[in-house]
């Protein structure tokens, strides 16, 4: 079998196509969750905690040269080492929400699979009586007469 035909057979298997579709949908879903965390949840959490913008929480690990603003974007642009733990908190929360949503989805899918109605059973046929029993019954009935 040639390399190209083997690759074609591999690439067109159902599992590979299903995986590709899952990755594409997962990437799009990840963007939705990322937007939900950054644009909806983190501003609310920041307001409750005290007007904190988590994306700008950082610790400078070096010295800030003169003329460089003390904000995360300017420090990163200047190449100063910065421990951006606020970004980590946002991404960790993003992961937790994504994991929770996937867990709930899988749980619902499994519940729907279990609740699928069983195929109706065929009507039970009358049990087949062995031939020797039938003959014995006929003899019994003949002797009664």
Q: Kindly tell me if the per-residue pLDDT of 133 is higher than 80.
A: yes
How do residues 24-71 score in pLDDT, each as one tens digit? 988 888 888 888 877 888 788 778 877 666 777 889 888 888 888 888
pLDDT at 66: 86
Q: Kindly tell me if the per-residue pLDDT of 137 is higher than 70.
A: yes
Domain boundaries, the chain: 33-114
Q: List for the chain the helix, strand, coil content (%; round to 5).
A: 70, 5, 30
Going from the C-alpha of 95 to that of each of 1, 35, 48, 67, 92, the distances in angstroms are: 44, 12, 21, 37, 5
Strands (E), the chain: 59-60, 82-83
Apex 87 CA angle, 82 and 89, nearest 5? 125
Q: Locate tokens 């899952």: which residue?
A: 22
Q: At a CB cut-off of 8 Å and minimum separation 6, what does 134 contact?
A: none
pLDDT at 7: 81
pLDDT at 121: 65
Q: Which residue has the higher pLDDT, 19 or 142?
A: 142
- The 3-state DSSP class for residue 59 equals strand
């Amino acid at each position: 079998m040639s390399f190209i035909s083997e690759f074609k057979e591999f690439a067109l298997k159902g599992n590979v196509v299903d995986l590709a579709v899952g990755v594409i949908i997962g990437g799009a879903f990840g963007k939705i969750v990322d937007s939900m965390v950054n644009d909806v949840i983190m501003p609310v959490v920041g307001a409750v905690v005290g007007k904190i913008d988590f994306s700008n929480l950082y610790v400078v690990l070096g010295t800030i040269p003169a003329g460089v603003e003390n904000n995360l974007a300017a420090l990163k642009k200047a190449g100063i080492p910065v421990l951006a733990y606020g970004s980590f908190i946002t991404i960790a929360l993003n992961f937790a929400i994504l994991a929770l949503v996937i867990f709930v989805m899988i749980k619902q899918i499994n519940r729907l699979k279990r609740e699928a109605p069983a195929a109706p059973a065929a009507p039970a046929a009358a049990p087949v009586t062995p031939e020797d029993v039938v003959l014995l019954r006929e003899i019994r009935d003949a002797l009664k007469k």
